[in-house]
Amino acid sequence: MIVGVPKETYPGEKRVALIPAIIPSLIKGGLEVHIESGAGAESGYPDSAYIEKGASIATSRLQLFEKAKIIVQVRQLGANPEQGQTDLPFMQEDQIIIGIAEALSNPHALRELNTRKVMAFSMELMPRITRAQSMDILSSMGTIAGYKAVLMAANALPKMFPMLMTAAGTVAPAKVLIIGAGVAGLQAISMARRLGASVEAYDLRPAVKEQVLSLGAKFVDLPLETGDSEDKGGYAKAQDEDFYRRQRELLGKVIASSDVVVTTAAVPGKKAPVLITADMVAAMAPGSVIVDLAAERGGNCELTKKNQTVVAHGVTIIGQENIPSLVPYHASQMYSKNIATFLLHLVKKGELTIDMEDEITKGTMLTRKGEIVHEQIREILGPLAGIRAEEK
């Protein structure tokens, strides 16, 4: 069974779905791997490295889609709405498409896939269960985003992070606030601590307090009712506007005293909650930095501009999207491990095994034989779930 790895076409996307080092494990599992020429070049993996590990190089994208039963990508159509359209004519009935689909944010793209009757899987919908930890791309990419966010903040801040005692006097440590203590937030805390900053963190889920303290940061306790703050998967749940208004009021003083704020609050499939208003930015000291990891979903800061760095009231606000792609070598390595583990979950001894009773398979499958099969997506689309784009 052939697995095809096309070159990513989303603007600025430098990652690749499979790296050379993972190829032998897939071959051992009964798979043959074909790579579009140059697919790994921008992440530091040349064609020659794939050939050394037993992969074949496809001469064209069309050839890759024609030969491969399974296509693995970083961003499939839903997460690549414009350039991804060009791959639709290449897709074959019952072909398997695996990658980030942004299915909750862009469910209408699934009706486009239905015109080709492919079987699509969305990696970001991986259930949060122990068996699926090694397939969890949100955790692996969140780790990279949290790491890189702190480095970006340190680069933009006109201060040093660590406390220094020198002959020229003592330099006080930078004050860093991390909002959201999920995987990205915890990595950001760890990185800021390594750089010597004084770190505080806030999360509406009281359960993460122990994790924050274990990393040497101070947990910001706010007098808010947070009993319904966490879903069954461990993610923060969206709250009503009254909650966010009160939260902003209480967070204001902490934000105003911070040199750096890294925000990570995102709710899958929904616009990111605004946690920092323009007035709150104005209250920060000139030279302060905000890195908004929710920029791709509208931003946690009211003044965030997607893919831009803006200065407002003397405060630098970084709204870079797709931060893991800024570290493409290791981002590809981690994503590749997630993808390979998922592939070997679906393919046993070279044979495709689709078990709809399995929680991982059922939780990630989007479409099959021209139908949208994911229950949550069907609920979002309502009557449109049964209508293909061609029938609209």
Contact 264, 178 (CB under 8 A): yes
- Given a cut of 70, is residue 391 above it in pLDDT? no
Q: 368 catalytic, yes or no?
A: no
**Domain limit, last residue, from 265, 295, 321:** 321
- Given a cut of 60, is residue 230 above it in pLDDT? no
Residue 49 is predicted with a pLDDT of: 98
Q: How confident is the model at residue 383 (pLDDT cuts 50, 70, 90)?
A: confident
Q: 128 catalytic, yes or no?
A: yes
Neighbours of 249 (CB within 10 A): 11
Residue 291 is predicted with a pLDDT of: 98
The answer to whether residues 15 and 33 belong to one domain is: yes
The answer to whether residues 119 and 253 belong to one domain is: no
The answer to whether residues 147 and 181 belong to one domain is: yes
The answer to whether residues 185 and 302 belong to one domain is: yes
Residue 56 is predicted with a pLDDT of: 98
The answer to whether residues 300 and 351 belong to one domain is: no
Q: What is the dihedral of CA 280, 281, 282, 287, to 10 degrees?
A: 140
Contact 2, 67 (CB under 8 A): yes
Q: In one letter, which amino acid is 386?
A: G
The answer to whether residues 20 and 161 belong to one domain is: no
Burial of 210 (0-12, 13-18, 19+ CB in 10 A): exposed
Residue 204 is predicted with a pLDDT of: 83
Burial of 360 (0-12, 13-18, 19+ CB in 10 A): buried
Residue 243 is predicted with a pLDDT of: 76
Identify any residues that bridge with 347 across adjacent strands, giving them in sequence order: 352
Average pLDDT, the chain: 93
The answer to whether residues 345 and 267 belong to one domain is: no
The one catalytic residue among 15, 75, 87, 136: 136
The answer to whether residues 284 and 195 belong to one domain is: yes
Mean pLDDT for the stretch of residues 351-370: 95
Mean pLDDT for the stretch of residues 192-201: 97
What is the CATH number for 216?
3.40.50.720
The answer to whether residues 342 and 298 belong to one domain is: no
The answer to whether residues 226 and 307 belong to one domain is: yes
Q: 329 catalytic, yes or no?
A: no
- Given a cut of 70, is residue 236 above it in pLDDT? no
For the chain, how many structural domains are there in total? 2
The one catalytic residue among 63, 128, 211, 329: 128
Answer with the residue of higher pLDDT: 391 or 105: 105
Prediction pTM value: 0.91
The answer to whether residues 201 and 266 belong to one domain is: yes
- Given a cut of 80, is residue 237 above it in pLDDT? no
Structural domain of residue 111, as residue ranges?
2-135+328-391
The one catalytic residue among 76, 95, 139, 187: 139
Could you tell me which of 7, 123, 14 has the C-alpha nearest to residue 65?
Answer: 7
Q: How confident is the model at residue 246 (pLDDT cuts 50, 70, 90)?
A: confident
- Given a cut of 60, is residue 208 above it in pLDDT? yes
**101: which 2 tokens?**
């689909």
- Given a cut of 90, is residue 247 above it in pLDDT? no
What pLDDT digit, counting tens, does each position of 292-301 carry? 999 999 999 9
The one catalytic residue among 235, 244, 246, 329: 235
Distances (CA, A) of 297 to 45, 72, 362, 366: 30, 24, 26, 21
The answer to whether residues 119 and 166 belong to one domain is: no
**Domain limit, last residue, from 321, 341, 357:** 321
**Domain limit, last residue, from 321, 353, 380:** 321
Q: 136 catalytic, yes or no?
A: yes
What pLDDT digit, counting tens, does each position of 127-153 carry? 999 999 999 999 999 999 999 999 999
